[in-house]
Amino acid sequence: MPRTCHPRFTVLICLSLVLSSAFASAATPPRGAYHLPNGDILALTTFDGALRFFMQNGRTGSLVNVNEGAFVGSEPGMGMAEPTHTLLATDTELTFNWEGKDHALTQIPLSEKDYQFNSGGQTLRGRLLAPSTGSYRGIVILVHGSENYSALDNNFLQYLLAANDLAVFVYDKRGTGGSQGKYTHDIPTLAADVVAAINFVDSLPEAQAQTILLAGFSQGGWVAPMAAVQSDKVRALLLGYGPAVSLYEEDRWGYAYWLQEEGYSAEDLAKADQLFALLKDMQTRGRPDRWKELKALIDQYKNERWYQEGLPGTDSSLAALTDTPVPLTLMYWWTSLFGLERFVDYDPASVLAQLDTPSYWLFAGEDASMPTEASIKNLKALSDSGLPMAYKVYPDTSHGIVKFEPGRGRERPFISYQPGYFDDMIRWLQEQATTADSLEN
């Protein structure tokens, strides 16, 4: 997983805005959902300060402002290194030139209401996005991954889901965007924020008699189930490339995947595991009591190929330690004085064993950040015991359910999201909302 997801509320601000197809500024097309003439849906939003488009079929690309109302972009992963897309905005229309053809974009009217709500003494910023007709199948609360940026400003799924007859509640996780608090990876704290969001949404007049669903991604695979177990208001939850294993196992997979993929021996992996176990023990205790042991092991292994070439660049805390340019002696003195950040090895087993809410897990077949096979093994055992859990694996995709160019080793140049992934997600959420409605009626 990339490091790169309380029941009292006070509504502080409620601002209502209905999007129209007229643009406030020709130079800046509004974020939102659009129909192409053939019925395909496209979302426009910012990401990392730039405009980006996301299509429901999985295609995505960048758009850079070159003149007032003119944007150009490309999809490098599709073999399109040169700009191949043009977006032209006027006061009244938006034209998208894609694959050599001009497509007039029709904005899908959506309503937005921005709020502030409270969780554990911190004020969090949220938004309810819904079809402007006021008619929708249910409300999906988006549960973050480990990202440290504003979900309101960057999350494109809010538009794709809202364009498919689902209301969406998205909020900036604590310490990001417009939300207070300290950014954290603490799973119980993040789950408490989700419960706060659930109760807040349930209190809204427009949410009465509406089904509440959760959709969690990456780290959200730990966070969303914990929140669902703590709340009786969640009808179902969808998990995208989220772990059903312990944090220890997930962190280990970051280097274990590549050592196995690149043909290193079982003995090499065992040595890496030895280092990793020692590092985690030090972090769990919060003090560098075993530093000399760790340094001795590093000195013993540092000239071996698996250490020099296999570990660097992997998505693991062990790689972060061995890759650091900081001299080990300096690290030793620093940790001796100030200690280590405590590591809490969260294991979702007890939470998942209580998860009687229907859940659907979508996995990447070649996930180098999260162990898909181990997660499926755990979920299958729980499903066999009678819990309502299902899963799907998309072969030849990486973390995020993304397609990549094969044969490029660790580079894995991004191509697109897996075609059908967004459709599968939307269809399942719609079905769960409809099922809940029929049960209530």
Which tokens hold the place of 315?
């998505």
Q: Looking up tokens 């079809």, which residue turns up?
A: 131
Question: Distance of CA 119 to CAs 9, 14, 161, 198, 349, Å?
Answer: 7, 17, 25, 11, 26
Residue 83's pLDDT is what? 59
Secondary structure class of 253 (helix, strand, coil): helix
Query: Is the confidence at residue 239, as pLDDT, over 60?
Result: yes
Under 8 Å between Cβ of 38 and 105: no
Question: Which residues sit opposite 70 in a β-bridge?
Answer: 67, 88
- DSSP labels, 207-219: GTT--EEEEEETT
Closest among 180, 258, 194, 182 to 222, alpha carbons compared = 194
- Whether the CA torsion 114, 117, 119, 125 is positive or negative: it is positive
- The 10s digit of each residue's pLDDT in 98-112 is 778 889 999 999 999
pTM of the model: 0.89
pLDDT, residue 14, reads: 28
CA angle 144, 149, 153 (to 5 degrees): 90
pLDDT in tens, 23-55: 444 456 789 999 999 999 999 998 777 788 999
Cβ contact 423:56 at 8 Å:
yes
Question: Per mean pLDDT, which range of 19-23, 180-184, 240-244, 345-349 is the poorest?
Answer: 19-23
